[in-house]
Chains A and B, each alone.
Chain A
Amino acid sequence: MDIQMLADEVPVEGEHSLEGVDFITSGEQYLTFLLSDEQYAVDILCVEEIRSWENPTRIPNSPSYIKGVINMRGIIVPIVDLRMKFNIGEAIYCDTTVVIVLTVETEEKTRTIGFVVDAVSDVLNVEENEIKPAPVFGGCVPQAYLDGLVNVGEKVVTILNVKTLQAVEKHQIN
């Protein structure tokens, strides 16, 4: 690659900028995050915002993984601890603990729910054919929540299905 070719690639002012060109690629984009030391990802279009952890208000008689509700600019948003829901790692709350708020539209309604994760790591571009079905063996995360696996370098990222994540199962009084 000689210098002229490189120069050709630099956009002239006024022409379209290549800034952010990384993002204008084919395929879907996913936000990856950490639960303990495992990598997970969700569809980035569903991400409303990423918040730092704050103590929510408890909902009486709710399952332990539902930490409570918070006030997000006037909207009451329930907070689900994914680590507890999937039984991965230890549910500790420290400075890097974050809440990913997802908004998902389904046929019936739009739901906004926050999910507690250990850390947010990266944005991932994935072509559809790169997603491989998750193996059906064991694991803590029920099959319904999985959309598939993606290989990223040496690691494997699990793509979660936002629709099933959003469906809050009816809980009973214990």
Chain B
Amino acid sequence: MSVDLSQFIPSFLEESFEGLELMESSLLDLEQGDDETINSIFRAAHSIKGGAGTFGFNSVTEFTHLVETLLDEMRDGRRKIAQDDVELLLDSVDCMRLLIESIRDEIECDTSKIIETSALLEKTLAADGVEVSEAITINSSDTVESKTDDTSTWQISFIPEHHLVQTGNDPLLLFNALADLGEVTLVACAKKLPALNELDAEEIHLSWNITLQSSANEDEIKEVFEWVEDECELIITKEALSNGDLSIAELLTEPPSLEESDPILSTATSKIDNPAKPTEKSTEKSSSKAKNDLGSIRVGVDKVDSLINLVGELVITQSMLSELGNDFDLSKVERLNSGLEQLLQNTKELQESVMRIRMLPISFAFNRFPRLVHDLSKKTGKDIELILKGEQTELDKTVMEQIGDPLVHLVRNAVDHGIESAEVRLANGKPKKGTIMLDAYHQGGSIIIEIKDDGGGIDREAVFNKALEKGLVDENTVLTDAQTFDLLFEPGFSTAKEVSDISGRGVGMDVVKKNIQSLGGRIQVISEPGKGSTFRVNLPLTLAILDGQLVQVGTETYIIPLITIVESLQPQKELINRVSGDMVLYRLREDNVPVIPIYQLFNIPSEFDNIEKSLLVVVEADGQKIGLMVDDLLAQQQVVIKSLNDNYQQVDGISGATILGDGSVAMILDVPGIITMALAQAQLNQKNRSTIKPKITQSISEGVNS
């Protein structure tokens, strides 16, 4: 009778990766240090070790044990939390990840790093740990030692708590593990077994007395039970011990009595085993984190709830319709129609909800960067602060998976080439600490991810010379900044003076660009010498969802992305000013906001062409505020952005379209685009006005406006 454990391996792996991520991020936080953090790290390590033990992944168990011992010392306050130890632990986390990945991919992993790290761990433990270090040195060598020991007899009394199996543990596995250590004689005690009608098949009411003939020492035996030690009463005694001790043990553990027999044991365990199969360990910890390459995603409860609500509505509609169909006559056509309408609505909402599940906050991709920057700044000896912004910006899962690597590349570059060394920074009058900022936000129909550093910027000369050397340009070519920086994305192009192991080999940037392009995005470089560079990745969101404000202009409904809206207001007459010809400004507290009537911009008939009668939606983009004149504000809702580009083409001022609840199409306004349009139109107006004037004035006005 054995449980097929392999079915639980995927969840163990997933859990372990989550545990590792938790350990990693907590370790990075630990630099400031507190008890709760170290406890959570310890717990994560402990869970991994326990899980690995259950599945017999000994390499993981052994390694994690060392990590756990070190953590235990820190937790107990026996060891000061030193920076070196934290580094070592971070390395250990990497090793554990390596080990677990090798289990996942069913490949042999490169053991050299693991051996090295575990040697380091042992050394650290041995060097300044107090008593525990001793224990661990014994432990690490006990396999050799114990073999020389004589076989001794151990009495183990194991009284699990009732809920043991519900936490995913199986006594049988423990016994099997014990059997690996030596010869096991099991006696079950079924005294506490309740009457059959009161028996909860998912609870354990048995206890066991185990006699183990083994050369193993107490620690090894304890280790078998380590995973369940909080959930059972466990007494381990050596036969050779004094009788007094034994009798106390016997008193406590209610030794085997006569009425027990083997059949009870086997039936009882089979009862326990079967319900235990589907029980999986709940994974409540680090709920915000998940590994996304395991083919599963973690979805917010609210999203699932809304799905369930929708399904509920769908079921109601369905039953309503089928009832209607039972005895249908023409008088019910009206009701049928409304029912069908409802069905349509339900289905659509359901579809949208399902699509929304694919959207994840970009923090999934950002999560790895604190560690990366931490490591890289160690390696390069640069003091770097990483600032993450806009982590809640939602992005399609597939896009997220593919954007991770390019981002890593860009961040590595920023650390290695962007940020200067501390001396240079100080000499240039900059703070010693460099800053790298990762920012994500929606703009128009795209998501923008910016990697910004406050380093030395890109050396145009160097780029140009390198391009000359590579024969990409010739000496007389005059390039704009943008064209120059584009050269960085040529294959094999690197301006790094020396190749470091972080970057500089010139592979990568072209791959970064290729990856981004394959997602339909583009990358843009902005750099100012001495002030830093910004890599702006622009990704389209074909599947993206945005919060929109529905507005009405004439007979048309438009959607303004909620994120761009500063406020909506009813214009007051005395605050409207006409300046410089025909420009309308609205005084919004201190600011003068240019008013752009949408009906004019889009050439549509509007109900109100008078600003006093319409509403003003003040939006902001690229640091510029404008007031959009609309007829009415309608509902706010989340909309799925659909590209107009697929079947038509890009339209100025429109970032995409969406389908409203009633099935009609509405256009989503592209606020930055509208600002550009309004500027262009203003220029055009000025040109038209100045056509009568001599040419020279015109070129001046062009120069002013461009």
A98 at the interface (CB under 8 A from B): no
B666 at the interface (CB under 8 A from A): yes
Whether A168 contacts B649 in the complex (CB less than 8 A), given A69-B657, A71-B659, comes out as yes
Contact partner, A61, options B602, B644, B647, B657, Cβ 8 Å: B602
Instruction: Tell me the bound Cα distance from A62 to B654 in angstroms.
Output: 12
Q: Count A-side interface residues using an 8 Å CB cutoff.
A: 25
B244 at the interface (CB under 8 A from A): no
Q: Are B647 and A57 in contact (CB under 8 A)?
A: no
Q: How far is the CB of A172 from chain B (nearest CB, A)?
A: 9
Closest A residue to B643 by beta carbon equals A76
Q: Are B665 and A61 in contact (CB under 8 A)?
A: no
Closest B residue to A57 by beta carbon equals B665
Instruction: Tell me the bound Cα distance from A142 to B556 in angstroms.
Output: 33
Instruction: Tell me the bound Cα distance from A75 to B640 in angstroms.
Output: 12
Contact partner, B647, options A58, A68, A78, A171, Cβ 8 Å: A78
Contacts of B681 in A (CB 8 A): 173
Q: Are B649 and A170 in contact (CB under 8 A)?
A: yes
Contacts of B601 in A (CB 8 A): 60
Q: Are B651 and A59 in contact (CB under 8 A)?
A: yes
B604 at the interface (CB under 8 A from A): yes
B652 at the interface (CB under 8 A from A): yes
Q: Are A76 and B647 in contact (CB under 8 A)?
A: yes
A158 at the interface (CB under 8 A from B): no
Contacts of A168 in B (CB 8 A): 648-649
Q: Are A112 and B647 in contact (CB under 8 A)?
A: yes
Instruction: Tell me the bound Cα distance from A56 to B602 in angstroms.
Output: 16
Q: Are A60 and B602 in contact (CB under 8 A)?
A: yes
> C-beta contact mask, A148-173 vs B, less than 8 Å → 1, else 0?
00000000000000000000101101
Q: How far is the CB of A6 from chain B (nearest CB, A)?
A: 46
Closest B residue to A54 by beta carbon equals B664
Q: Are B667 and A59 in contact (CB under 8 A)?
A: yes
Q: How far is the CB of A70 from chain B (nearest CB, A)?
A: 6
A17 at the interface (CB under 8 A from B): no
Contact partner, A77, options B647, B664, B667, Cβ 8 Å: B647
Instruction: Tell me the bound Cα distance from A140 to B657 in angstroms.
Output: 33
Whether A76 contacts B642 in the complex (CB less than 8 A), given A57-B665, A59-B654, A69-B665, comes out as yes
Instruction: Tell me the bound Cα distance from A174 to B603 in angstroms.
Output: 9
Q: Are A60 and B667 in contact (CB under 8 A)?
A: yes
Closest B residue to A80 by beta carbon equals B648
> C-beta contact mask, A66-91 vs B, less than 8 Å → 1, else 0?
00111100111110000000000000
Q: Are A75 and B667 in contact (CB under 8 A)?
A: no
Instruction: Tell me the bound Cα distance from A123 to B648 in angstroms.
Output: 28
Contacts of A112 in B (CB 8 A): 646-647
Enumerate B36-65 residues with CB–CB distance to A below 8 Å: none
Closest A residue to B603 by beta carbon equals A61
State which size class the interface on B falls in: 20 to 34
Contacts of B644 in A (CB 8 A): 59, 69, 76, 78
Q: How far is the CB of B447 from chain A (nearest CB, A)?
A: 20
Contacts of A75 in B (CB 8 A): 642, 646-647
A113 at the interface (CB under 8 A from B): yes
Closest A residue to B657 by beta carbon equals A76
Q: Are A71 and B647 in contact (CB under 8 A)?
A: no
Instruction: Tell me the bound Cα distance from A112 to B643 in angstroms.
Output: 13
> C-beta contact mask, B625-661 vs A, less than 8 Å → 1, else 0?
0000000000000000011101111011110010100
Closest A residue to B555 by beta carbon equals A58
Q: Are A56 and B604 in contact (CB under 8 A)?
A: no
Contacts of B604 in A (CB 8 A): 58, 60
Closest B residue to A59 by beta carbon equals B651
Q: Are B652 and A70 in contact (CB under 8 A)?
A: no
Enumerate B562-615 residues with CB–CB distance to A below 8 Å: 601-604
Contacts of B179 in A (CB 8 A): none
Instruction: Tell me the bound Cα distance from A74 to B665 in angstroms.
Output: 10
B646, B647, B651, B659 — most chain A CB neighbours (10 Å): B647
Interface of B with A (CB < 8 Å)? 351, 556, 601-604, 642-644, 646-649, 651-654, 657, 659, 663-667, 677, 680-681
Interface of A with B (CB < 8 Å)? 56-62, 68-71, 74-78, 109, 111-113, 168, 170-171, 173-174
Q: Could you list 25 examples of A-B contacts with CB < 8 Å?
A: A57-B665, A58-B556, A58-B604, A59-B644, A59-B667, A60-B601, A60-B604, A60-B653, A60-B654, A61-B603, A61-B653, A68-B665, A70-B665, A71-B665, A74-B351, A74-B642, A76-B647, A76-B648, A78-B644, A78-B647, A112-B646, A113-B647, A171-B649, A173-B680, A174-B603
Which 9 interchain pairs have the tightest Cβ spacing? A60-B602, A57-B665, A78-B648, A71-B659, A76-B657, A112-B647, A76-B642, A71-B665, A69-B665
If A60-B653, A68-B665 are given as contacts, then 15 extra A-B residue pairs at C-beta distance below 8 Å, sorted by A number, are A57-B666, A60-B604, A61-B653, A69-B644, A69-B657, A70-B665, A71-B659, A71-B664, A74-B351, A74-B659, A76-B643, A76-B647, A78-B647, A112-B646, A170-B649
